[in-house]
Chains A and B, each alone.
Chain A
Amino acid sequence: MTDAAAPRVEIRGLSKSFGGTRALRGVDLTVLPGEVHGLLGENGSGKSTLIKVLAGFHDPDAGELRVDGEPVPLPLAPGQFRKLGMSFVHQDLGLVESLTVLENLRVAELAVPSSRLRISWRRERARARETFERYGLRLDPTATVAALKPVERALLAIVRALEEIRAVGRGHGLLVLDEPTVFLPREGVDRLFSLVRSAAAAGASILFVSHDLDEVREITDRVTVLRDGAVVSTVGTADTSETAFVEMIIGRQLAALTEPVHADLSARKLAVSVRGLSGATVRDVSFDIHAGEILGLAGLIGSGFEEVPYLLYGARPARAGRLEVDGDAFDLTGMTPTRANQARLALIPADRKTDGSVATLPVGENVALSVLDRYFNGVALQRRRMAQETRTLLDSFDVRPSDPTLPYGALSGGNQQKALLAKWFQTSPRLLLLDEPTQGVDVGARAQIFELLRAAAAEHGMEIVCASSDYEQLALLCDRVIVFGRGRIWRELSGDEITKERIIEQSYAAMAADVEGVVA
Chain B
Amino acid sequence: MTAADERVAESSQRDDGRSRNVGALLERFALLGAWGVVIVVFGILRPDTFLTSSNFSTIFGSQAVLVVLTLALLAPLTAGDYDLSVAATMGLAAMTLALLNVNHGWPLAAAIAAALAVGVVVGVINGAIVVFAEIDSLIATLGTSTFISGVILWMSDSQTISGVSNTLIDAVVANRLFGIPLAFYYGIALGLVMFYVFEYMPLGRRLLFVGRGRSVARLTGIRVSRLRWAAFVASGAISAFAGVLYVGTLGSADPTSALSFLLPAFAAAFLGATTIMPGRFNPLGSIAAVYFLVTGITGLQLLGVQTFVQQLFYGGALVLAVALSQFARRRDAASAGAA
Contact = CB atoms under 8 A, between A and B. Distances in A.
Interface of A: 18-21, 23, 43-44, 49, 313, 315, 337-338, 340-342, 347, 349, 354-361, 365-366, 368-370, 372-373, 375-376, 380-381, 383-384, 387, 403, 405, 407, 409-412
Interface string B307-339: 000000000000000000000010011011111
B213 A342 contact: no
A369 B339 contact: no
A360 B329 contact: yes
A19 B15 contact: yes
Interface in B293-316: none
Contacts of B333: 359-360, 409
Given A20-B16, A360-B279, A410 B220 contact: no
Given A337-B220, A355-B219, A369-B209, A20 B14 contact: yes
A366 B217 CA distance: 10
A337 B221 contact: yes
A376 B329 CA distance: 30
A301 B196 CA distance: 47
Given A383-B200, A409-B333, A21 B206 contact: no
A380 B202 contact: no
28 contacts: A19-B19, A19-B20, A23-B338, A43-B339, A49-B338, A313-B219, A338-B222, A338-B223, A355-B216, A357-B213, A360-B332, A361-B208, A361-B213, A365-B209, A369-B209, A369-B222, A372-B202, A372-B206, A375-B202, A381-B199, A381-B200, A381-B202, A383-B3, A384-B6, A387-B6, A405-B10, A409-B332, A410-B339
* Contact residues of B: prevailing secondary structure: helix
Nearest to A347: B219
Contacts of A368: 205
Contacts of A376: 201-202
B218 interface: yes
A369 B15 contact: no
B2 to A, nearest CB: 9
B46 interface: no
Contacts of A356: 216, 219
Contacts of B339: 18, 21, 23, 43-44, 410-412
A125 B146 CA distance: 50
A346 to B, nearest CB: 9
A381 B195 CA distance: 13
Contacts of B14: 20
B210 to A, nearest CB: 10
Contacts of A381: 199-202, 205
Contacts of A338: 221-223
B200 A380 contact: yes
Interface string B1-35: 10100110010001110011000000000000000
A356 B20 CA distance: 27
